[in-house]
Every structure is written in structure tokens, then in C-alpha cells.
Structure 1
Amino acid sequence: MPATTKMSTDEYRGQHLLEISHLVEVKIGHELNLINHRISWLATSQSFLFVAVATLLTTDYASAHLAARVFLFSIPVVGLCLCFVVLGAVNAALRVLSRDLLPERAALVVEINRISGLTLAPLGPDRLTEFFGALPARWIPIIFGGSWFIVIGLLVWRAASR
């Protein structure tokens, strides 16, 4: 039987640096894909909900039937709830990126540079990129949510003026 030698963490990391870097990049890509899918799904679902409200508002059916009036008020509530859920999920993914994955990537790039003699740019949690890069993901659910608050206010105003 061959004798096994126990490697230190630094030795293991040095020998498997590229595999570890690849794993971190895959995880970063996964989190970014989750954010992208959540925002795309939100935009699509909100579009259908806004069309449903606009359709109900432009028909006489909405003022004549109780069920249509209930739907007219419940659709914005559903849209608002979806915005809160997606905002929470996007913020969770951004937190994982900024707290765990991007700092690990930056440390790995520094280590790759040290071992290889390269001068790769450190790709870590840059404040400017982190802030501006996350703006669409953070603000799209908030903008849709604010739109739903406006729609709800208009519906209440419309109902009170009749």
C-alpha cells in the first residue's frame, strides 16, 4: 500500500488553484444567472398583470360585475407581492456574491498572479461595479412595486369617486 502524505491547506490550494478558481467562477455564474432569470421572469409576469388591469379598466364588464372588480383590485396586490419576493431573492443572491464569492475570486487572482508571475487584474468586489452593476436587479422590482402602489391608489380613487 502506498503511503499517503497529508497536505496542508496551502499546499492543496496551490496544487489545485485552477480547479478552485473554476469552481468559484461557476458559482458566480450560477448566482448571476439566478438574478437574470428572476428579473426576466418578473418583467414578463408584470407585463401580463399590467395588461390584465388595463383590459379590465377599459371594459364595461369591470364596473358591472363584482368578480371583475375583485380581480381588478387583486391583480395589483399579486403584482406587488411578486415584486417583494423577487427583490428579496435578488438581494440574497447579491449578498452571496459580494460577501462570499467575489472576495474569494479576488484572493484567487492575487494567488494566481503570485505563483505564475502574471499581472491579471484583481477581479473582486469593486464598489463602483458592485453598485452600478446591481442597479437594474435592485431597482426593477422596486419600480414595478411603486407602479403597483400607484395603480392601487388610482383604483381606490376611481372607486371612491363613483
Structure 2
Amino acid sequence: ALVEFGVYPIAAHLFVFYFGILSCITPPVATAVFASAGLVGESPIKLGFYTAKKAIPIYIIPFLFVLNPELLMLGGNIGNILFEFCMSVLTIIALCGSIEGVGKNKFTKMERVLLFVAAICELHSSIIIKIVSNGVILAILLKNYLKKEIMYANSDKNDFT
């Protein structure tokens, strides 16, 4: 069905394959979660929600394959391939930062919302929107990097409590 919509066959196959692999760590299948919950002595449901939260940035990657075939080195020249690669890396960094709430330092709630919205805007096909959203991402990351204090993520608490 994806190929009939004009998606490259390899991108369509990787899209389906990637989601098949992700089913091991996220509900409702989450076979790896059930196995690891038994090893660490934690509730499988609690651990399943935790892994689903942490896996949100991973769910964007198959869509990036489909929407940006340059990531698979299909079409375009080396400049387009490098441009899309850099844009995609920034997208994943922004999503991780918005979910975790920390970069080098802790993000404010507004920065987290802006990072999330800018990362989602990366899925748009317009080059102008991609450049603007990456400008927002870079500005927030630079501001965060230049802060003086360093806060380590989850250094004083356990995520499961």
C-alpha cells in the first residue's frame, strides 16, 4: 500500500520492519518488557508505560525514512543527503530533550513544548518550515548549553518511584 502511494519500496519495507522490531519494547506486545520486568522485579505494566514514553523519539524514525528518502541515500545529491541527515539528527535530539527535559541543563516547560513542536514540524515537506524549526531547536539547545549550572538527569531519584 505504501509503494502505491509513491514511497520507495525499500523505505516501505524498512517502515514495516522497524515497527515490527519496536513491538518488542512497547505495548501491547512488549515481549522484551515482560522478560526484563521479571529480571528486575518490576511490574510489567509499569515498565511498559516507561518504555513507551522513552520510545516516542524512536517512532519518528520510520516516518523520516518514508518522508525523506535521502536518509536511505535514494535520490538527491550528497548535499541533500547530508542536509536531511543533519535535520533528522536534530529532530531526534529535540524529541529526546522534550521528553526527558534535560540537555546539558534542565529545560523549562516552554522550551520542552517548543522542542516537541519543532521536532514534529520536521515531518513537513517544506524546506522553509524545516529550516525554521531547526533554527528553533538550535537556539534552544545553544541557550541550554550556555547555562552555567549543570543538572544531571535523574541523579537524585528513580524513574519508577
TM-score bracket for the superposition, by shorter chain length: under 0.3
Q: Which has the larger radius of gyration?
A: 1
Question: Could you state the TM-score of these two structures normalised by the residue count of structure 2?
Answer: 0.28
Question: Could you state the TM-score of these two structures normalised by the residue count of structure 1?
Answer: 0.27
Higher helix share: 1
